[in-house]
Amino acid sequence: MAPLSFSSRNLKTLFYKPRVIPFEFLGQHSSALFSTHIVGDTPILGISPRNRHQLECLIEALSSISSKPWYAHGIAEAILRTTNLSVPLKIYEIGGGSGTCAKGILDYIKLNAPTRVYDNISYISVEISSSLAAKQIQTVGEVDSHSSKFRVECRDAADRSGWGDVNEQPCWVIMLEVLDNLPHDLIYSENQISPWTEVWVESKEGEKLSELYRPIQDSLIKSCMEIIDMPDATTGGSRVSSAMKSIWAKVFPKPRWCWLPTGCLKLLEVLHGALPKMSLIASDFSYLPDVKIPGERAPLVSTKKDGSSSDYNSYLDAKGDADIFFPTDFLLLEQMDHYCSGWMKQQKDDTSLKRGKKRRTLSLDTAAFMEEFGLPTKTRTKDGYNPLLDDFKNTKFYLSVPTHNIK
């Protein structure tokens, strides 16, 4: 038995320098992380064009995109606009897949940044898969001059010990399609006023998997609930709950499920602890269509058999190979970022002082990001269709940079 832990504002205020775009969403997915090892751990995203015409346009666009990594170039442009170029540029990428993004960023910086910036850059890929680590070295090494600036550290980015001593130097951290694969914890409540409980999965030989409910004890779950400002887990309800609400819950009980991004919280805690002056850029799914599993921030869990996909109504049925994706709540991501930087805790501990935030943050739809930092004209097809602007409506970018406004 194991606990269930699956895995626009004005842009000038954040980016203040003069302008490319990317394409990585058709690329790799890092392996999902599961503490239970009960369901599958190899997520695969398939893209199904709505009709033949769209498919033809997509093929045309992909033929152009494959020779020009506009997605990585857009990220590089965003970094260059924000970075203090008088300091050597250091970039960490978590879950770098095949190394396409790393190569694209280094290519762009070599061609568009001052020579001294490229000469002094260091790009570190933090990759848990040894096979992908080898592939990244091969991909980046296609350009000889990149090799001395790039290295792979084969380790778990969420393990604090792997980062060594605190590094106070400015740096960038990139996470592309990482958050949707990170572990989540499920909590449950019988009705609108019952206390939240941890969900555990029990596995008995010859029987179906079943859920067990226990009082909230896990520290990451507690922290997530604190950030979201959910009702107290011990008392089971808000102090302002009225008698009418209690009666309504008894007459019309409504069970509640909530999926908490505890894996993301743990990773952010580690990153802020090890790299307190990091700037962060992350991209992922902001919502997922046709999710059948109940609960806030519930995942899409599906399997493919004989060429056709089917979605599960319950994660408990997803034995063996299954694809799993969690949507990213970008507002919650921002709150967790502030929490892990120490700002939210500081505010609660001393409400008499109004301190400035330690981070400046911004969430953008992918199309808006690409319009701002990329060159979408390079991927526009003859009929005007542009995959970089018209597809991936359910994805966003999150950008976060440190600020000295903390007095």
51 vs 185: which has the higher pLDDT: 185
- 346-405 pLDDT per residue, tens: 666 655 555 667 899 999 999 999 899 988 888 788 888 887 777 778 899 999 999 865
The pLDDT > 70 percentage for the chain reads 74
Distance CA(132)–CA(361), nearest Å, equals 31
The mean of the pLDDT values for the chain is 80
Asked if residue 268 and residue 124 are part of one domain, the reply reads yes
347 lies in the same domain as 245:
no
Residue 3 lies in a domain: no
Asked if residue 394 and residue 274 are part of one domain, the reply reads yes
Distance CA 171, CA 18 (A): 20
pLDDT digits (tens, 9 = 90+) for 176-201: 999 999 999 999 999 878 899 999 99
Same domain, 173 and 195: no
Claim to verify: residue 62 and residue 134 sit in the same structural domain: yes
| Crossing angle of helices 262-274 and 219-228, rounded to 10° | 90
Beta strands in 67-205 (DSSP E): 90-94, 122-127, 150-154, 171-176, 184-189, 197-202
Confidence of residue 285 (pLDDT cuts 50, 70, 90): very high
- Say if 159 falls within a structural domain: yes
Rg, C-alpha atoms of the chain: 22
363 part of a folded domain: yes
Asked if 90 and 215 sit in the same domain, the reply is no
Assess contact for 352 and 333: CB atoms under 8 A.
no
Residues 116 and 64 in one domain: yes
Query: Do 203 and 80 belong together in one domain?
Result: no
Query: Do the domain assignments include residue 224?
Result: yes
Structural domain span for residue 366: 52-181+261-288+326-401
Give the pLDDT band (50/70/90) at residue 56. low
Split into its structural domains, the chain has a count of 2
| CATH assignment of the domain containing 163 | 3.40.50.150
What pLDDT, on the 0 to 100 scale, is given for residue 321?
77
